[in-house]
Amino acid sequence: GENVEQHPSTLSVQEGDSAVIKCTYSDSASNYFPWYKQELGKRPQLIIDIRSNVGEKKDQRIAVTLNKTAKHFSLHITETQPEDSAVYFCAASIINNDMRFGAGTRLTVKP
């Protein structure tokens, strides 16, 4: 089955700096790569996703890039704010079935 690795496990940045979280996947058949944000004590929520036929996608301050050849994808958050502090999870699947998640990255944005 699919295996997703996520780095780093913790990330601390100053407010206004950029944050980058990286994931690799093992199954070349995977074609859907969502990112979820989970605030403390809350449920995960989708923040951005990308399909395998697209190399990059942006939504305001967040962007995701995908390198199918290397089987890795990354989340980029620019101009970080304290409310960006949360745990971020990457995931990979074939369409949205049997989705496998990375172990998560705890992002702390220091004011």
- Give the per-residue contact string, 37-76, with other proteins (x = CB under 8 A; - = no): -----xxxxx--x-x-------------------------
- Cβ neighbors of 41 (< 8 A, separation 6 or more) are none
Residue 102 touches other proteins, criterion: CB under 8 A: yes
Could you tell me the two tokens for 45?
């929520």
Closest by CA to 51, choosing from 100, 103, 102, 95, is 95
SS3 category, 83: helix
Q: Which span (14-22, 58-66, 72-80, 90-98) binds other proteins, by CB under 8 A?
A: 90-98
Could you tell me the two tokens for 109?
């944005």
Instruction: Output the smallest distance, CB 9 to other proteins, in A.
Output: 7
Binding site for other proteins (CB under 8 A): 1, 6, 9, 32, 34, 42-46, 49, 51, 89, 91, 95-104
